[in-house]
Structure 1
Amino acid sequence: MTVECNIDTPAEAGALIRAQRTEQGWTQLALADAAGVSRKFLIDLESGHDRAELGKTMAVLAALGLSLSTTTPIPRGREHDPERRDYAATFTDLIAKKDFEFAIKMLADYASASLKAGRPLLQRSPQLKDLRWSAALAGITNYTAHLLDQPAPDWTRHIQPLNEAWMPAESYRTVREPMKQLTQSETPHELAVMNVFIRERSLATV
């Protein structure tokens, strides 16, 4: 008889992963390489660090042949599938609600989903009233097109660079000067020319 156990905390997830890794004979380095994560991430995950990223955690579980299950049906449909999401409508709604923190998360989702789909998903202008977010989406669209070695959609050529440097993160929190400098130094060219600054690693594409 199989006994089902709930995983309710990061510590429990870490303990399970460590036990399974040991039982299957993986070293931390070998498992990290197989899952495509750093050894430091795996160490943090096994120790129950509560800020471990879910995507990387799922990759580690998959490498061990493990998966998560639920008795609650998983939501389906366009809004739950990054490659089918209507990003123009999503950003219009989030900006109207001033949910800027989630809007920034959606910038990263848009970049990742575009790369996974093999094309920039915004082929038409999102027609946002906020010029800053239009510039950000144009920059990310050009960035993903460049990585995919494709021409950028025509609408991006009609979006003008901002008059002043802008960091989307400043929409909802204060960004200290050292972080501003780091962000500017690690922003992809396609965003920097729009005067929008987001670290490449924050786009979850590398």
Structure 2
Amino acid sequence: MKSESTIDTPSAAGALIRRQRISQGLTQQALADAAGVSRKFLIDLESGHERAELGKAMEVFAALGLSLATATPIPRGSDHDPERRDYAATFADLLANRDFEFAIKMLADYASASLKAGKPLLQRSPQLKDPQWSAALAGITNYTAHRLNQPAPAWTRRIKPLKHPWMPADSYRSVREPMKKLTQSETPNELAALNVFIRERSLATA
């Protein structure tokens, strides 16, 4: 009977990945290419960097033929499936609770899930009371529709550009001027048209 090890820290995950990579005769670059991540990311992951992105880490595990197991049942249903999630209700709840940091992460989740589904998932207006977040969702909806070579849902045309430039990150922290300029220069046109600024790389999960 094989003994089981618990992967409960970033360092443990990194050590396992490194050992498995070496045992398979793979260089860091070869594994990075197979997993679709950068070599720098893999270096950080193998060294136990605590901020390594989980999605990319799972791609590395898959490339090595590894998987994670848990004795606790994994939640199922629309709340845990990005392509079936009710994004209108999700954002309404997050904004009501002023959980702006997680709401920003959900913007990227919405973009990624829409592209994976092959259509913008918000086909109807989310009917948010906050004009800034409405504009952000409209901009991302237009962005995903454009990338999929589809017409944007009609509701996005009813959303007017904000009177002043806005970055969602300003909702919960102070953004320095150099970062603001960089963000503005790297924002997709569909969002900039609504005076909302989010770096396209922040939607990299898409």
TM range (shorter): over 0.9
Cα contact 2:140–2:191 (8 A) shared by 1: yes
Length-normalised TM-score, structure 2 = 0.99
Q: 2:45 corresponds to which residue? A: 45
Match for 2:144: what amino acid? Answer: T
State the shift of 1:54 in Å. 0.4
Q: 2:111 corresponds to which residue? A: 111
Q: 1:30 corresponds to which residue? A: 30
Q: 1:144 corresponds to which residue? A: 144
Q: Percent identity?
A: 80
Any gaps of 5 or more consecutive residues in structure 2? Answer: none
State the shift of 1:203 in Å. 1.2
- Counterparts of 1:77-92 in structure 2 under 5 Å? 77-92=77-92
Cα contact 2:36–2:59 (8 A) shared by 1: yes
State the shift of 1:205 in Å. 4.1
Q: 1:19 corresponds to which residue? A: 19
Q: 2:58 corresponds to which residue? A: 58
Aligned residue pairs total 206
Match for 1:96: what amino acid? Answer: A
- Aligned residues: CA RMSD: 0.7
Q: 1:156 corresponds to which residue? A: 156
Any gaps of 5 or more consecutive residues in structure 1? Answer: none
State the shift of 1:64 in Å. 0.3
In structure 2, distance between residues paired with 1:93 and 1:16: 38
State the shift of 1:204 in Å. 2.3
Quick one: structure 1 residues 57 and 205, their matched pair in 2 at CA, closer, same or farther if it must change by over 3 Å?
Answer: closer
Q: 1:71 corresponds to which residue? A: 71
